[in-house]
């Protein structure tokens, strides 16, 4: 495994990229964004669903980048600051 993925947990690969989850009034949904993977965004009715959808989006983003030999950023491993 490389590039932010760690060993599968329950058959699913977990990632070490920062994910920001927030509510969008415009979309009436929870949005999950991965700032380190440009364009990697998912949504869901709940934060948990948005996170699950985001995990799938990250898998697709990373596989597509690898397939087209695009650079894959290493996770920065920083923690969010809470306001």
pTM: 0.76
For each of the chain's 83 residues, which pLDDT tens digit applies?
333 443 343 445 567 899 999 999 999 999 999 999 999 999 999 999 999 999 999 999 999 999 999 999 999 866 655 54
Nearest CA to 26 among 2, 43, 6?
43
Q: Give the C-alpha distances (Å, rounded to integers) separating 21 from 7, 65, 69, 77.
A: 23, 23, 29, 17
pLDDT at 13: 54
Inside any domain, residue 13: no
**Percentage of the chain surpassing pLDDT 90?**
67
The structural domain count of the chain equals 1
CB atoms within 10 A of CB 69: 7
| Cα–Cα–Cα angle for 83, 48, 65, rounded to 5 degrees | 90
Inside any domain, residue 81: no
Q: Residue 28's domain spans which residues?
A: 19-67
CB atoms within 10 A of CB 15: 21
Inside any domain, residue 10: no
Inside any domain, residue 82: no
Inside any domain, residue 75: no
Average pLDDT, the chain: 83
């Amino acid at each position: 495994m490389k590039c932010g993925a760690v060993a599968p947990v329950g058959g699913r690969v977990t990632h070490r990229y920062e994910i920001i989850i927030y509510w969008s009034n415009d979309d009436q949904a929870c949005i999950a964004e991965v700032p380190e993977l440009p364009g990697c965004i998912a949504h869901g009715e709940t934060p948990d669903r948005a996170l699950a959808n985001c995990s799938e989006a990250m898998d697709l983003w990373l596989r597509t980048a690898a397939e087209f030999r695009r650079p894959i950023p290493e996770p920065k491993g920083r923690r969010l600051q809470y306001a």
